[in-house]
């Protein structure tokens, strides 16, 4: 720890500022550096952190004037503005975000809740990509991003509420999509601003940004039918999430439109993981009447399915389609046909929507749906003989 020469800032201060009798003695806050070092001497104690008062003193104006310059108020004369700017530069002034947040009741920070254990959140490339979109939009808007991290959904919920209730964030983005989510109910009840990635059950009146998951399912299924398949299985995620329901709905719709029967034995749960996909695929192949094509509602499960096929020495004999267009799906063997979800845009749009809501440019809940696109690769690009 360093000692610092005494600088009796307050001698030069704007008269309004009495010499402080700080409640702290010669106190070095644990672990904090020179900015927070107080020195007790015969004179008044001194902090090295420059404040608007210091700037005001240097520029020969009142603190309120400095504050107005900072806020870009129009009622400041150009000369004063210039003087204050110069003083700020000379004193290397930086406004204190906590003080500002306290006074303005806004933190310019938003929270991101992942709604799954941190452990799992990044297992799927979806999250990083969504975060990239969010980050990019928030950076452009001058907002900060706090990550809410917890080990369980219950902890996640309290962590998120804590962020909001403690005024640490102005609003949150959720990536949940469980059909029943206490957190969403709480947020609505306590009237906190939030945006969902992935739609909410309609009645809630929440803001959300989603892609057209029903269309996704239909696209994948119709593509497989166009290649001559009629026994099309679906490896789905848990049905308590809306993504799973929607992506299944598209599959059902497409089959129904084509007059094909729904075979319940061709619907299995892969739990949104690669391993689950492998297991599900093995189950399907063990059926007396196995499918000729499989639509997996997520790339991770599709990759798992490919592995199962390889393990059975049947690579290429069953058509596989995934969803997401994870960067790695192009590298699988065979390269995976998939439906490209605009994951980055999902994040960016959600972030922008939330900021617009916070700044009052958007009022009330708003829902946005982004389009997806089929990407045909070798895993399905052949016709059933």
15 binds, among its own copies, DNA, none (CB under 5 to 8 A by kind): DNA
Q: Is cis: bond before 334, omega within 30 of 0?
A: yes
> E strands along the chain, which residues?
109-113, 144-148, 171-174, 194-197, 207-211, 232-236, 267-269, 293-296, 319-324, 337-340, 367-370, 373-375
List residues near its own copies by CB under 8 A: 1-2, 29-36, 94-99, 101-102, 104-107, 109, 118-119, 121-123, 125, 127-129, 131-132, 135-136, 138-139, 144-147, 149-151, 159, 162-163, 165-168, 170, 190-193, 303, 307, 327-328, 331-333, 357-361, 363
- Taking the complex as a whole, how short is the minimal distance between the CB of residue 383 and its own copies, in angstroms? 25
If the CB atoms of residues 1 and 203 are measured against DNA, the closer one turns out to be 1
DSSP letter assigned to residue 169 = -
Count of CB atoms within 10 A of residue 377's CB? 18
357 binds, among DNA, its own copies, none (CB under 5 to 8 A by kind): its own copies
**Residue bearing tokens 């005024």:** 167
**Residue bearing tokens 């099309």:** 232
144 binds, among its own copies, DNA, none (CB under 5 to 8 A by kind): its own copies
* 320: β partners: 294
The tokens for 11 are 């001698």
**Per rule CB under 7 A, is residue 42 in the interface with DNA?**
no
Cα–Cα dist 167/33, whole Å: 26
Query: Looking at 89, 94, 182, 314, which residue binds DNA (CB under 7 A)?
Result: 94
- Taking the complex as a whole, how short is the minimal distance between the CB of residue 164 and DNA, in angstroms? 14
DSSP letter assigned to residue 34 = G
Binding map of DNA across residues 5-24, x = CB under 7 A, - = no contact: ---------xxx-xxxxxxx
Binding map of DNA across residues 101-140, x = CB under 7 A, - = no contact: -xxxx-----------------------------------
Contacts for 200 with CB less than 8 Å, ≥ 6 apart? 177, 184, 206, 208, 242
Q: Which residues bind DNA (CB under 7 A)?
A: 14-16, 18-25, 27, 47, 49, 51-53, 60-65, 67-68, 70-71, 73-77, 79-80, 93-96, 99-100, 102-105
């Amino acid at each position: 720890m360093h000692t610092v020469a005494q600088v009796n800032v307050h001698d030069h201060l704007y008269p309004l500022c009495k010499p402080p009798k700080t409640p702290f003695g010669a106190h070095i806050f644990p672990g904090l550096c020179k900015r927070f070092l107080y020195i007790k001497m015969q004179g008044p104690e001194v902090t090295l952190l420059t404040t608007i008062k210091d700037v005001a003193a240097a520029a020969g104006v009142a603190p309120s004037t400095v504050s107005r310059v900072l806020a870009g108020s129009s009622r400041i004369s150009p000369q004063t503005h210039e003087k204050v700017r110069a003083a700020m530069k000379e004193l290397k002034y930086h406004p204190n975000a906590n003080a500002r947040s306290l006074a303005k009741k806004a933190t310019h920070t938003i929270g991101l809740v992942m709604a799954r254990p941190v452990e799992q959140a990044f297992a799927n490339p979806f999250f990083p990509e969504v975060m990239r979109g969010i980050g990019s939009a928030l950076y452009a808007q001058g907002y900060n991003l706090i990550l809410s991290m917890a080990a369980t959904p219950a902890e996640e919920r309290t962590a998120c509420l804590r962020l909001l209730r403690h005024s640490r964030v102005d609003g949150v983005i959720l990536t949940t999509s469980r059909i029943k989510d206490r957190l969403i109910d709480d947020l609505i009840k306590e009237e906190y601003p939030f945006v969902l990635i992935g739609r909410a059950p309609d009645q809630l009146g929440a803001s959300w940004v989603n892609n057209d998951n029903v269309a996704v399912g239909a696209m994948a299924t119709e593509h497989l039918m166009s290649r001559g398949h009629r026994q099309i299985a679906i490896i789905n995620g848990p049905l308590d999430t809306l993504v799973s329901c929607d992506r299944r709905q598209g599959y059902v719709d497409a089959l129904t439109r084509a007059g094909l029967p729904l075979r319940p034995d061709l619907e299995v749960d892969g739990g949104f993981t690669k391993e689950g996909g492998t297991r599900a695929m093995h189950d399907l192949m063990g059926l007396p009447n196995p499918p000729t094509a499989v639509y997996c509602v997520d790339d991770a499960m599709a990759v798992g399915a490919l592995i199962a096929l390889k393990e059975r020495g049947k690579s290429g004999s069953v058509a596989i389609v995934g969803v997401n267009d994870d960067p790695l799906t192009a590298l699988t063997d065979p390269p995976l046909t998939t439906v490209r979800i605009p994951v980055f845009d999902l994040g960016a749009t959600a972030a922008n929507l939330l900021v617009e809501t916070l700044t009052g440019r958007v009022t009330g809940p708003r829902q946005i749906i982004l389009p997806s696109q089929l990407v045909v690769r070798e895993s399905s690009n052949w016709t059933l003989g």
